[in-house]
Structure 1
Amino acid sequence: MIPWRPTGPRRAGVLLHPTSLPGSRRLGALGEAAFGFLDFMRRAGLRVWQMLPLGPVHEDRSPYRSLSLDAGGEHLICLHQLGDAAWWPGRPPAGMSHHRILASAAHRFIGQADADERESCRSFIERERDWLDPYCAFRVLRRRYRGLAWQQWPPVWRDGADDAVARLNRCAADELQRERVVQFLFDRQWRALHRAASTCGIALFGDVPFYPALDSVDVWRHRHLFQLDARGWPLATAGVPPDAFAPEGQAWGAPVYDWARMAEDGFAWWRARLRVQGARFDLLRLDHFRGFEAYWSIPSGAAAAHGSWQQGPAAALFDALAAEPGLPALVAEDLGTITPTVEALRRAFALPGTRVLQFAFDGNPANPHLPRNHEADAVAYTGTHDNDTLAGWWSHAPPAQRDRVASMLGLSLRSCNPQRLIEALLASPAALAILPMQDVLGLGSDARMNVPGRALGNWQWRLRRAAPIAGCADPLRAMLSASGRLQHRS
């Protein structure tokens, strides 16, 4: 694992998931808009692009509840980027879904790709086979059973994922190969974006969800690593107790880990996960870091508030990760109920923590989220994907809170506004400051990405056009320069 090094010039970055880039959802996100966004970042002086998890999503589109923790989201593949290949006829057919177009593209690739492309695809399949084949089998079976959760499949497919892969290799080889090719197409487009980012001096910052979804290939294939009954249903589920985000707590529905079983092979499952994501990103955020020290376990069928804290793997897991070569630097998302033992775990492995400006103004002058209290070893945000936008938060703040914000930042109430709040964050000692793109653009609550605990309407926000982004590059660059976060490439 590469250690975090906060020394050197302070940097600034932006939080924007690719699905929020302008363009048609039907055509995918890893195309012209993504490369154009890199150009905007270069001109603005931003050096880190943070995203949410990239996996294939369920119907609710949550990046944190994907069908696979390792696979790339097919919905992100840009159909226009396929147009340069000889095996692809050009413009995507009108009226055809993104999924059907990709299936057609994969079929054409198998029959018409040239020798170099076929060799690249073969190499990808061999390199990623450990997660790729089970995922492709999972997709084939899920389609066969019309989207039913794997626990509802016939036992011959439900039980024994590796045997199911072997059987499908005999009876559905063409379907499996098409799924493999789709993942190859994602990988090729992602690598092109990563190369372009590196050329611009921009690091890509990924996100590692703490739990997989119950209906995922990860749980189907690794049932022994989770607390499940004989049919694969959870004995206990994950969540968090009541907090500022959700007064009744949150029940996520994900199965909790059997940490004792995971420890038996040195946490191989976690090491493999981070190797896959480490090949895609330069930095990785560990979501729900406090769960590594102790996790909230909710008995099956109970409300979130009726759960209890259970011991996590703590240092044993991070000792294993520290010995794993080639992993990128890790950042702890240490929000929520943080105890001294959670803080001690983070510090023991020199992981930077997370600071959020919107949490800074409770009246406590020692609040760690106050910009003046930030440590260099921190990643500071105006807000995360779970917060309201800064403009929305400010517009809903009662007068007493606005007075407190202005006072704690040393501003007059008249001059205190979202832009001044951004300037205060950028001026902090934190080595890295991340601004959600909605805050850069000054957008209100209707641009919020997620409301924790709300089942519907999340993950939808998308820029309608690129022009607003282009127009804020110069003002943002001036703000970064004034705060000492503008890095000049040699």
Structure 2
Amino acid sequence: MADKSPLFQRRTAGVLLHPTSLPCSESCWGKNSKNAFGTLGKDAYYFIDLIAQAGLTIWQMLPTGPTQADMSPYQSISAHAGNPNLISLDWLLEKGWINAEDVQLVGEQSLGDAHQQCALSFFKYLESDKGTETRELFQTFCSQQHYWLDDFALFCALRSEFKGASWVSWPKELRAHDQAALKKSREQLKVKIDFVLFEQFAFFTQWQALKKYANQKGIYLFGDMPIFVGHDSADVWAQQHYFQLDEEGNPLTVAGVPPDYFSETGQHWGNPHYAWDAMQADGFQWWLARLRTQLQLFDLIRIDHFRGFEAYWEIPGNSHDARLGKWVKAPGEAFLKACFDAYPGLPLVAENLGVITDEVEALRNQFELPGMLVLQFAFDGNTNNPHLPHNHTRSDVIYTGTHDNDTTVGWYDTLSDANRQQLKQYCFNSTDDVPWLLIEAALASVGRMAIIPMQDFLELDGGHRMNMPGTTDKNWVWTFSWDQVEPTLADRIRQLLRAYHRVEQH
């Protein structure tokens, strides 16, 4: 079904880069800000120009929801909302939505404080004669997104009121979602709620403008939808009956994976597991709403940890040892049927890495979902390894590495001499250096879509990796700079894409 998408009807190539990893040239950040990450501002548009010039047609990224303090995109406080840290303040100034005199430079104050100032300036603008059209757009946005936005805005306001404390520690009537208590809170916390509404309106408006620009350039946005949501999130708080929780709201079971390639002791993610019976009883409405939002943002969606729809690793809620978990069956077939019935032609890609069984692959193939293959996993001496190019199929999406892998240069540095020799021999004893040896192997693959991490295009070493699974230090903070982009990079990429028929010939 998904591989019948127009994006899989021809050979294409793309780049993997999270928007936070873009350079930040925002004037509002201040020249000396040490916390400057990429935004949806001008650097995002420059990046689209660069990849369009190179002939790439896919921009893949990580989940774009608001994060916790550790910045992990996979522990968001909302399955729907956008990350307000991606908002471009320069864009707001250029649109006239805020007044420059109302906002101090970020770096001299926190980003949150700067957004507070922006919100005050924005609502002042809405009340002016110049703000009439924007006011109507704002009201329409709030109305169209109410199915998630109302709960999310209140959740954030309450979270702020209780100094960031988890919702399980809130007063009982709020923890239990008592309607009278919620109504009172909406009245008392209107200013904080309006602040959240402003941030989400700014994010979604900027996103749609960027997406339109990308699509006009022939670039499609490839998003990432984590299978699980964070426990301390608006979704779990507002719809507790969909999750395996005790009477106090604490998880009875949590998600993770057993020991695998990435971790000898497994991974303990801590996300609460779904109450699949409750979800199936109403036709998976929670998931259909989630997909509705994702389809507004992306042209193609990767389902993270797809294998969890066939069976998931269930760890006791009171344990921090992932090895104590067990596999539990999930209603994957019924779930996917409901998704494709609601959204025919749903453009999904299955993340099928890790401990994958025949049952998982049968479910993926039943719905014709493209899977993922990673060349860094290929060269272990086993000629039957599915990641080796001669075992690829047209419906596979081919990667040199992912955000969880080392950069290809970093990976190569750790290879044994025997594995290095296998790589060179497999690639016809090419004299090309890594990472271009692996990049070319990915582009030469029969797989219709090939995705290359930006770090590999920039030939960066392991000090530039995005994430190291099983660790919490220095993840999710990598950014590149424009001076790392060689003037000849776009032409070099385009020449390879022409050679392997991944760019339209003119």
Pairwise TM-score range, normalised by the shorter structure: over 0.9
- Counterpart secondary structure, 2:450: strand
Aligned to 1:369: 387
Instruction: Pick closer, same or farther for the CA change 1:433–1:162 going to 2, 3 Å.
Output: farther
Q: Match for residue 125 of structure 1?
A: 142
Mapped contact 1:46–1:202 kept (Cα < 8 A): yes
The answer to whether 1:102 aligns with 2:115 is: yes
Question: d(CA) in 1 for partners of 2:219 and 2:94?
Answer: 26
Q: Secondary structure at the match of 2:485?
A: helix
Comparing 435-444 with 177-186, which one deviates more in the overlay? Answer: 177-186
The aligned residue for residue 194 of structure 2 is 177
1:281-300 residue pairs with structure 2 within 5 A?
Answer: 281-300=298-317
* Contact 2:174–2:182 (Cα < 8 Å) also in 1: no
Of 462, 465, 487, the match for 2:479: 462
How far apart, in 1, do the equivalents of 2:92 and 2:402 lie? 33
Structure-to-structure mapping, 1:134-213, within 5 angstroms: 134-160=151-177, 164-213=181-230
Alpha-carbon shift at residue 222 of structure 1 (Å): 1.4
1:93 maps to which of 94, 97, 104:
104
Is the CA contact (8 Å cut-off) linking 1:161 and 1:220 kept in structure 2? no
1:321 maps onto 2:331 in alignment: no
Q: Which is further off, 243-252 or 396-405?
A: 396-405
Whole-Å separation in 1 of the counterparts to 2:58 and 2:21? 17
Matched, 1:49 2:59: yes
Provide the residue aligned with 2:368 in structure 1. 350
Q: What amino acid is the match of 1:67?
A: I
Once residues 375 and 166 of structure 1 are traced to their aligned partners in structure 2, the CA distance between those partners, rounded to angstroms, is: 55
Q: Distance in 1 between matches of 2:114 and 2:335?
A: 42
Q: Is it true that 1:81 corresponds to 2:91 in the alignment?
A: yes
C-alpha deviation, 1:10, in angstroms: 0.4
| Structure 1 outlier segments of 4+, above 6 Å | none
Q: Distance in 1 between matches of 2:296 and 2:162?
A: 33
Distance in structure 2 (CA, Å) of the matches to 1:27 and 1:215: 24
> In the aligned structure 2, how far is the partner of 1:458 from the partner of 1:198?
30
Counterpart in 2 of 1:10?
11
The letter for the 1-side match of 2:69 is E
Native 8 Å contact 2:3 2:370 kept in 1: no
Structure 2 Cα separation of the partners of residues 51 and 480 of structure 1: 21
For residues 217-242 of structure 1, give each alpha carbon's deviation from its aligned partner in whole angstroms, at most 9, with x where no partner exists: 11111111111111111111110000
- Which ranges of structure 2 fall in alignment gaps of 5 or more residues? 30-34
Task: Answer yes or no: is the 8 Å Cα contact 1:292–1:314 preserved in 2.
Answer: yes
1:320, CA displacement in angstroms?
Answer: 0.2
Determine helix, strand or coil for the equivalent of 2:327. strand
Q: 2 CA distance for matches of 1:328 and 1:187?
A: 21
Code of the aligned partner of 1:362: D
Q: Does 1:258 align with 2:275?
A: yes
Please, which runs of 5 or more residues in structure 1 have no aligned partner? none
Alignment counterpart, residue 419 of structure 2, candidates 401, 406, 430: 401
> Once the two structures are superposed, what CA deviation does each residue of 1:294-342 show, in whole Å capped at 9, x if it has no partner?
0000112331011000011110100100101367400000001111110
Q: Could you tell me how far apart the structure 2 residues matched to 1:93 and 1:146 are? A: 24
- Conserved 8 A contact 1:278-1:327: no
Contact 2:406/2:462 (<8 A) preserved: yes
Distance 2:484 2:343 in 1: 42
Q: In 1, distance between residues paired with 2:190 and 2:9?
A: 52
The equivalent of 1:385 in structure 2 is: 403
- Please give the TM-score of this superposition, normalised by the length of structure 2: 0.93
Aligned residues, how many? 488
Q: Counterpart in 1 of 2:434?
A: 417
Which residue number in structure 1 is paired with residue 32 of structure 2? none
Deviation at 1:96, TM superposition (A): 2.5
CA drift at 1:290: 0.3
Conserved in 2, the CA contact under 8 Å of 1:226 and 1:258?
Answer: yes
Q: What is the CA–CA distance in structure 1 between the aligned matches of 2:37 and 2:351, rounded to whole Å?
A: 32
Deviation at 1:397, TM superposition (A): 0.8
Q: Does 1:68 align with 2:68?
A: no
Corresponding residue for 2:22? 21
* TM-score (normalizing by structure 1): 0.96
| Percent identity (aligned) | 44
Deviations 1:343-395 (A, max 9, x none): 00000001000010011112222221112221101111000000000010001
Structure 1 contact 237–253 (Cα < 8 Å) conserved = yes
Shift, 1:86, TM fit: 3.3
Measure how far apart 1:173 and its partner are. 1.9
Cα-Cα RMSD: 1.8
Query: For residues 27 and 240 of structure 1, what CA distance do their matches in structure 2 show?
Result: 30
SS in 1 for 2:4: coil
